[in-house]
Amino acid sequence: MTKLFTFLFLLIGIISTQAQTLQSPNKNLTMTFSLTPNGTPVYELKYKNKPVIKSSKLGIETIDVPSFTEGFSQKGITTATFDETWQPVWGEQKNIQNNYNELVVSIEQKAVANRYINIRFRLFDDGLGFRYEFPEQSNLNYFTIKEEKTQFALAGNHKAFWLPGDFDTQEYNTVTSKLSEVRGKMKEATTPNASQHPFSATGLQTPLMMKSDDGLYINIHEAALVDYSCLSLELDDKNMILNAFLTPDAIGNKGYMQAPTQTPWRTIVVSDDARKILASKMILNLNEPTKYEDVSWIKPVKYIGVWWELITGKSSWAYNDMTSVKLGELDYSKTKASPKHAANTAHVKEYIDFASKHGFDAVLVEGWNEGWEDWFGKSKDYVFDFVTPYPDFNVKELHEYAASKNVKMMMHHETSGSVRNYERHMDKAYQFMVDNGYNSVKSGYVGDIIPRGEFHYGQWMNNHYLYAVTKAAEYKIMVNAHEAVRPTGLSRTYPNLIGNESARGTEYESFGGNNADHTTILPFTRLMGGPMDYTPGIFQTQINAYNPDNNSFVHTTLAKQLALYVTMYSPLQMAADLPETYNKHLDAFQFIKDVAIDWDETFILEAEPGDFITIARKAKGKNEWFIGGITDENKRTATVDFSFLPKGKTFEAIIYADGKDADYITNPQSYQIKKMKVTSKTKLKQPMATSGGFAISVK
């Protein structure tokens, strides 16, 4: 009998430490959770039985309470299934399906009485999300995080599309290399930036896009980054393991937590089809539905602006040429206005006229407010007040003029990283917007953060970005935050967050240029977490046409710039070039006027990260479709399969393509516009020049 009981006990023991398995709805993905003999939680992920993530540790290392890292035993599990379709306020699709199988494991440490945590796994057809949860308990309350110990043990030396890990900037050019080459390429990749803080010779940012030798696409990122530090990764390039690396605060701690609480979701999107990576809605699905009751004030925006002429150096943000100003003390009206100051009433009216004539919703103006003379690089605390215009910018007059032309003014809040200053002025600044007809703001965080010692992506700043968004909602204001932390799907919960830059955008074309393959990568990396205010539409690609001292050039053809309105999804789209240039190419400009910015459906037709992307989308509530195709530095021929169109009808397509001899370096402005009839049976072969593309509107 003793042997029997021993056996039974062994069996129960085995069962209680048995691995827990979770499958995706279509069973292609399998996640397995278990505890090692010393009680460390581990997980692994397989796709169609191929390892995606090999056995990887989980845990959180703490400072002031026992760490959540080992000595665990299983307390219990729960499973669930979820399948729901929901409608975003704006997006690539009218309907989004949220379908997953869920496993929650509760684990406790015998050495720490009255304390357990949960790890929640959700397995979708397109990938895995998991997070740590800390339920309220007598022995689990406040704790400080030293480091999160989540691992992603990779199954090979994958090809990766990566940015140097950094606590302050996301604006590096993407490097495409094997993971084994990261260390050797890090130094060269870490180009100068107004605010930067690389943290490791093998540090990487998320979203991280990878492709295995056998054609598996793997994307790692996070979802629902709320009240936590931003996730970066440190590559153990000996073992090909990615270790979580959180952003520290000024004193080196990585998170301050109060139970009940949870971490963001760590996300792994997986497919053997690159198009499915782009089509994935997993990160949005992991975010909470919005609690906003009235969302009628949130609308996608197509805009132009007094901006590119500043970025190129043609004009200036600053009103005068002083090197040091004190707000509230300097009487600007007594200083000499620089002829280069672009944000003046007359000039802005020209933009308003252009916007009105061509059906744009809004005009952004940068350099409208006192303080631009010495805003940059001085660690200046009281740098802007966000409400006092320069003497030559008449807020009221421009509000009325724009309103008379059915155009809205778009506000600009450059904080210069001086965040206490921004928060001190925020209510007044938002009220000023409401009083003067502004309903959207582009905010910026250029330069090192004040309070000094904090980083752009730490818990402190992530709290601030969300504060700015939720407070904006009280004023029915939409927010487009540049230099903020990269998005993690929070726009599902806070749909007035209509955009971020938080990556290397079009402005860098004027600061030396972006790589030719830049925008064939961004949708696989930066855009996985949310839309980007990429501000394309540059027709005059040679910057010295605007500013003889600036010899940068946009590394694309003109036609590719049109395609970006489709391939770079955003509810906020700028026609970034100067009206005078658009006036020279109104035929091509027509596409920008026509292209929708909100969608019923999206069809990822072709995609390979770093090489090419072809996307078709159906405009929301209209029988109109828009297609965009882009390529990297190589010529290519895209295939547009129009089977997404309704059957049995004929449509008129206008194709904006590279000219036969177009080349992004030598002949970027060569384009051709053709019309043709298309049906659902049409398969169009569309050639693209080097760093070229095409755009098609179908009605």
The rounded Cα 109 to chain-centroid distance in angstroms is 38
Which residues, 6+ apart, have CB-to-CB distance to 620 below 8 Å? Answer: 94, 596, 598, 599, 600
Query: Is 329 designated active site?
Result: no
Min. distance of Cβ 420 from its own copies in angstroms?
A: 7
Rounded-to-integer distance, Cα 455 and Cα 229, Å: 10
Min. distance of Cβ 376 from its own copies in angstroms?
A: 11
- Residue whose C-alpha is closest to residue 657's, from 536, 563, 542, 525: 563
Min. distance of Cβ 60 from its own copies in angstroms?
A: 17
In the chain, the amino acid numbered 200 is S
Alpha carbons within 13 A on the beta-carbon side of 75: 16
Closer Cβ to its own copies, 121 or 445, answer by number:
445
Rg (C-alpha) for the chain, rounded Å, is: 26
The Cα angle at residue 416 between residues 411 and 421, in degrees rounded to 5: 85
Which residues, 6+ apart, have CB-to-CB distance to 449 below 8 Å? Answer: 168, 195, 417, 419, 455, 456, 461
- Residue whose C-alpha is closest to residue 543's, from 266, 254, 310: 310
b/e sequence 312-331, b meaning 16+ C-beta within 10 Å: bbbbbbbbbeeeebebeebe
Min. distance of Cβ 450 from its own copies in angstroms?
A: 9
Rounded-to-integer distance, Cα 698 and Cα 618, Å: 9
Rounded-to-integer distance, Cα 640 and Cα 643, Å: 9
Closer Cβ to its own copies, 81 or 324, answer by number:
324
- Residue whose C-alpha is closest to residue 480's, from 426, 521, 535, 437: 535
Residue that is written with structure tokens 């084994």 in the block: 180
Q: What would the two tokens of residue 529 be?
A: 């977490």
- Omega before 37 cis (within 30°)? no
Which residues, 6+ apart, have CB-to-CB distance to 206 below 8 Å? Answer: 220, 221, 222, 231, 232, 233, 486
Residue that is written with structure tokens 């792994």 in the block: 268
Secondary structure of residue 614 in the 3-state scheme: strand
Closer Cβ to its own copies, 259 or 446, answer by number:
259
Q: By the 8 A CB rule, do 501 and 487 touch?
A: no
Min. distance of Cβ 136 from its own copies in angstroms?
A: 7
Q: Indicate which residue of 370, 507, 580, 633 is catalytic.
A: 507
Which spans of this chain sit near its own copies (rule: CB under 8 A)?
136, 138, 141-142, 144, 249-251, 253, 256, 258-259, 323-324, 326, 374, 378-381, 420, 423-424, 427, 451-454, 460, 463, 467
In the chain, the amino acid numbered 290 is T
Closer Cβ to its own copies, 253 or 525, answer by number:
253
Rounded-to-integer distance, Cα 224 and Cα 629, Å: 31
- Omega before 289 cis (within 30°)? no
The Cα angle at residue 196 between residues 191 and 199, in degrees rounded to 5: 95
Closer Cβ to its own copies, 189 or 322, answer by number:
322
Axis-axis angle for helices 419-435, 459-474 (nearest 10) = 10
Closer Cβ to its own copies, 81 or 323, answer by number:
323
Which residues, 6+ apart, have CB-to-CB distance to 188 below 8 Å? Answer: none
Q: Is 81 exposed, middle or buried (0-12, 13-18, 19+ CB in 10 A)?
A: exposed
Closer Cβ to its own copies, 65 or 240, answer by number:
65
Q: Which residues pair with 223 in a beta bridge?
A: 265
Instruction: Output DSSP code: residue 248.
Output: P
Min. distance of Cβ 149 from its own copies in angstroms?
A: 22
| The dihedral formed by the CA atoms of 372, 373, 374 and 380, expressed in degrees to the nearest 10 | -40
- Residue whose C-alpha is closest to residue 165's, from 219, 234, 211: 234
The rounded Cα 190 to chain-centroid distance in angstroms is 20
The rounded Cα 483 to chain-centroid distance in angstroms is 11
Min. distance of Cβ 391 from its own copies in angstroms?
A: 21
Closer Cβ to its own copies, 273 or 381, answer by number:
381
Closer Cβ to its own copies, 353 or 423, answer by number:
423
Distances (CA, A) of 699 to 573, 627, 678: 21, 12, 10
Closer Cβ to its own copies, 335 or 394, answer by number:
335
User: Which of the residues are catalytic?
Assistant: 507
